[in-house]
Structure 1
C-alpha cells in the first residue's frame, strides 16, 4: 500500500483517485512519467522548483500532502468499482478530519462525483466540506486524461493557491 505524504499544519492535502502500478512499486505518488501532477504543482507556484516523485517527502515543508481516495493500485482509475470509490470517500472524510488540512484538493472530478455523491460537481471550489476541510476539485493529472492540458491543470492549481 502506498503511504500518505503528511505533515503538521497542511495547507493543502492533494488527493489522487488511486495509486498507479508504478507508484505502488516505487512508493512515490504520481510516479508515471506522463503524469502532470509534479510539473503543474511547480508551474502553479506551489513549489519553487520541479520536484521528482522521489522528492515527495519535501511536500510537507511547503504545507502540502498527498493521499488517495482508494488505496488499491491499478493500471487505470476506470478499473475501480463504484463501491470502492464510495467506501474510499467515507474513509477519506475520516482521515481528513484527523489530519486537519485547510483544503482537500481532489484530483479528478468524476471520482469526486462518485465518492461523495455529488453528480453535478465541477472543477473548482466546492461549497461542501469534507472532514471539516474546504474542498477544491481539480482535473485529473494522469497522462490518460486527454480533457486537460498541463497548462490547464497548472492554472487551476494556481487558482487554488491564490485562494489560500
Structure 2
C-alpha cells in the first residue's frame, strides 16, 4: 500500500506510524473513519476542494505530495507496535527519503519524531501540548468558537468517501492561544545531498517536521483547530523554503544525518 516514492519528486512526504486496519484493507493512507488528515490538508490548501482520500494514489502527480508509513505492518492500534519495531524501521525509511529527496518530511505523529530522533541520536524535545485530557478532539461541542474558517472541511458519506464541504457553525473554532510556534515542531536534523546527487526538481536538503497525530483515536491534547493551524503553518514554511526567503528556517547548525552509520 505504500506509495512508491522512488518514482516521483516531492515537495512534502507525509509519514504515518503504520497502517490501520481500514488502511490495510483499502490500501489507502490515513483513511480511518475518524482520521482528520485529509481535512487538514484541505484546510491548509495543500490539496484542492473536492479531493477525497480515494484520490490519494494520485497525490504525487497532482500535488507533489507523498504518503507513506514508518512501519508497514497493519495493526488495530498503534499500541500493538513494539518500540524496537518502530526504531528498526528508521534506517530503511530514511533511505527511501534519500531516493526521492523531498523538501520536507512531515511525521503525522509527535511520537514518530521522537522515535527517529532517538534512532539517529539527535535529541528533540516535543512541544508542550496546548491542553490535557482524554476527550477526543473531534467532538465539535468541545471546540472553541471561531469567527471564520478560510478552508472547507471534509464530509464522510455512508460509502466512506469524504468530500469537501463548507464548514458548519459547530465546526468553526480558533486554535489554542498557547499553541506552540511551528518552529517548535521542526526537528533539529536534516538530510543533505551532494550536487552530484541532486536531480532536476529535487531539493538539496530535506527538513523534518513532526505534527500531532490526526487520528482521533490516538490524540487528545490538540483541538482539531490546532492541527489545522499547524498544517497551515507547515504550508507557509514550505513556501518560504521554496522561495529561498530569509524568513525560512535557519538550519545551519542542524545535525546532518549519515544514513551509512544507521543499522536496522
Residue from 143, 146, 152 that aligns with 2:216: 143
| Residue pairs, 1:3-18, within 5 angstroms | 3-4=2-3, 6=5, 8-18=8-18
Runs of 4+ in 1 over 4 A off after TM superposition: none
Within 2, Cα distance between the matches of 1:31 and 1:19? 9
Q: Distance in 1 between matches of 2:20 and 2:51?
A: 18
Q: Map of 1:13-32 to 2, 5 A cutoff?
A: 13-32=13-32
Alignment of 1:97-116 (within 5 A): 97-116=98-117
Which aligned pairs between 1:30-41 and structure 2 lie closer than 5 A?
A: 30-41=30-41
How many angstroms apart in 2 are the aligned matches of 1:4 and 1:121?
A: 28
Cα distance in 2 for residues equivalent to 1:58 and 1:67: 13
Q: Which protein is bigger by CA-based radius of gyration?
A: 2
Number of residue pairs aligned between Structure 1 and Structure 2 = 163
**TM norm structure 1:** 0.91
**Quick one: distance in 2 between partners of 1:23 and 1:91?**
21
TM-score (structure 2 length as normaliser): 0.58
Per-residue displacement from partner, 1:70-116 (whole Å, max 9, x unpaired)?
A: 01011111211111111111211111001111101001112321233
> Does structure 2 retain, via aligned residues, the 8 Å contact 1:19–1:29?
yes
CA contact (8 A) 1:5 1:59 kept: no
Give unpaired runs (5+ residues) of structure 2: 128-183, 193-204, 239-264
Give structure 1 stretches of 5+ with no counterpart: none
Further displaced range: 34-43 or 128-137: 128-137
Q: What is the aligned partner in structure 1 of residue 230 from structure 2?
A: 156
**3-state SS in 1 of match to 2:102:** coil
Is 1:121 the counterpart of 2:126 in the alignment?
yes
Whose helix fraction is larger, Structure 1's or Structure 2's?
1
Contact 2:102 2:206 in 1 (8 A): yes
Q: 128-137 or 9-18: which moved more?
A: 128-137
> Do the aligned partners of residues 129 and 49 (structure 1) sit closer, same or farther apart at CA in structure 2, a change above 3 Å counting?
same
Indicate the RMSD between aligned Cα atoms, in angstroms.
Answer: 1.7
Decide whether aligned partners of structure 1 residues 32 and 42 sit closer, same or farther in structure 2, where only a CA change above 3 A counts: same
Question: Once the 2 structures are TM-superposed, how far is the Cα of residue 45 of structure 1 from its aligned partner?
Answer: 1.0
Write the distance in 1 (CA, Å) between the matches of 2:188 and 2:116: 16
